[in-house]
Amino acid sequence: MCLHTLKVSTENVIRLQYVEIISVCELTVEQTTSKIRKNMGEIYPGLLTGRTDIVISAIVFAFVKP
């Protein structure tokens, strides 16, 4: 298994090596996973055939003024 930690930039995008910049603004984890799978599938065909998978989790923080 290969693990990568990616952060969403202040512009609401993630940058993947060998793949274009991916905008994730207002996307759910499921929508983000699908978008990454589609874009990375051009380089890693196993993602499109189901032989390889992507697992994404998110931690969301909200700051609220009292």
What pLDDT, in 10s, does the model give residues 1-57? 677 778 888 899 999 888 889 999 999 888 988 998 888 888 888 888 988 888 887
Task: With cut-offs at 50, 70 and 90, classify the pLDDT of residue 59.
Answer: low
Of residues 61, 66, 65, 57, the one with CA closest to residue 28: 57
- Residues contacting 10, CB < 8 A, separation 6+: none
Q: Which residue has the higher pLDDT, 66 or 32?
A: 32
The pLDDT value recorded for residue 65 is 64
Does position 63 have pLDDT exceeding 70, yes or no?
A: no
- Please state the pTM of the whole predicted model: 0.72
